[in-house]
Amino acid sequence: MSDTAVASPAASGASGSGNSDSGSAGSQAVPLAPKSNQVLRDIMGGSVVISILAVVLALVVGGVLIALTDENVQAASGYFFSRPGDTLTAIWTAVSGAYGALFQGAIYNFGGNTFVRQIKPITDTLNFATPLIVAGLGVGLAFRAGMFNIGGQGQMLIAAACSGWVAYSFPLPYGIHLIAAVLAGIVGGAVWGGIVGVLKARTGAHEVIVTIMLNYIAFYLISYLLRTPGALQAPGSSNPKSPGDLPSAIYPDLLGSDFNLHAGLLVSIAATVFVWWLLTRSSLGFKFRAVGVNPNAARVAGINVKRTYIYVMLLSGGLVGLAGVAQVLGTVTSGFSSGIDAGIGFDAITVALLGRSRPWGIFVAGILFGAFKAGGFAMQAGQGIPVDIVLVVQSLIVLFIAAPPLVRAIFRLPTPGVAKKPKQPAPPKAPRQTPSEAVAAK
């Protein structure tokens, strides 16, 4: 069979007869779309390309907002029709300066007078990305099982409290103390997430409502304990803050004291590998994915759906708890407050969406959002750009990712899995009759 045409036997026979009209009509070829074209259509309309274009669109819209809020652009636009070049120059200066500062604050500082100052931005990006990655993995794992874990804030707070309490209360040998503090945080987050799984499995309570309510419970519980002497509050202090960690329970620095990068990054990489193995190589991960696709079909296939809900929320809460551990044992080691989560629990939802709930996609998305956080401060300090612009860009990324048809429509991308129908040949036109022939036919 040819890739370009398919001819029926009747058409072949007609072409061999003496009637040229019937032969040409019967041997019409129907073109088939090559497989390479279909593969290209699937790639161009796939989730990876959509995610990249969503970031590009968000940056473009962010550039428009930067230009609209810049004072020099506003001043030059007052005489746009007399000297339009000034307005265009001001727009270019504002947008390029803002995104240049974003790059230098997040990746590489070209103006640094030492090598340490030049590479410090990328280490700051990785430091911000560390809790985002592990929290995003927890949220994404729940997404793959059809669960919406909106309780990252509460799970981080409980994990931070458990980990911090072990870190300052028990003087243990170095290594053992750090492992004990990390495990305490994982257990705290897993228990807080497991509550959601149990309620979902036993009572059918919706996990979104339960996780949101548990966020409030965790926040006010930790706030109370931080204000209570003898609980989490530092001895002799009236501030709602815990004691500082003992040196034996602090994540070691990876590149020395000149950088903020700590061993929590290695933990996030190990967690990414673990979640990838869990979802793609283990029977438990297969159950998670099966329940996420269709819980009814999974139940018919013999999978205990209720037990799966409990397992996935235990693991999800434990992974999100690692973000709280990274904050307490790596970023804020002098004592934590009720704001230790720093909005990471909700940012993790965005990271999981951008990463399409795939482990390595979440890893890359976490680094991207870490770059936004690190570079946003540089934009504000160097160019006077409000840091809220970065938040707008992050929100737009979520908006465009949540609406793939919009991105495909803007860039005229094909829908994956839908083959482009070949054009069918037009049917042969009947010969036009003369008036006398039409009368005779009647």
Least confident of 157-166, 274-283, 415-424: 415-424
When mean pLDDT is compared across 115-124, 172-181, 274-283, 411-420, the lowest value belongs to: 411-420
Q: pTM of the prediction?
A: 0.80
27 token code pair: 């041997």
Q: Burial-class residue 411 by CB neighbours within 10 Å (0-12, 13-18, 19+).
A: middle
CB 30 within 8 A of CB 422: yes
Whether 368 shows a pLDDT value over 70: the answer reads yes
Q: Determine what percent of the chain is predicted with pLDDT higher than 90.
A: 46
pLDDT band at 109 (very low <50, low <70, confident <90, very high): confident
Confidence band, pLDDT 50/70/90 cuts, at residue 360: very high
Average pLDDT over residues 276-304: 94
Rounded mean pLDDT of 255-259? Answer: 83
Q: Is the pLDDT of residue 150 over 60?
A: yes
Provide the angle, in degrees to the nearest 10, between the axes of the packed helices 264-281 and 305-326.
160
Amino acid at 158: I
Band of pLDDT at residue 130, cut at 50, 70 and 90: very high
Phi-psi region of 245 (alpha: psi -120 to 50; beta: other; left: phi over 0): beta
User: What tens digit of pLDDT does each residue of 428-440 get?
Assistant: 666 666 666 655 6
Residue 3: band (very low, low, confident or very high) from pLDDT cuts 50, 70, 90: very low
What pLDDT shows up at residue 54? 86
Kindly state the percentage of the chain with pLDDT values over 70: 83
Q: What is the mean pLDDT of residues 261-277?
A: 95
Q: What is the pLDDT of residue 170?
A: 86
* pLDDT at 411 (0 to 100): 82
Quick one: 178 exposed, middle or buried, by C-beta within 10 A (0-12, 13-18, 19+)? buried
Tell me the mean pLDDT in the region 92-97.
90
Give the mean pLDDT of the chain.
84
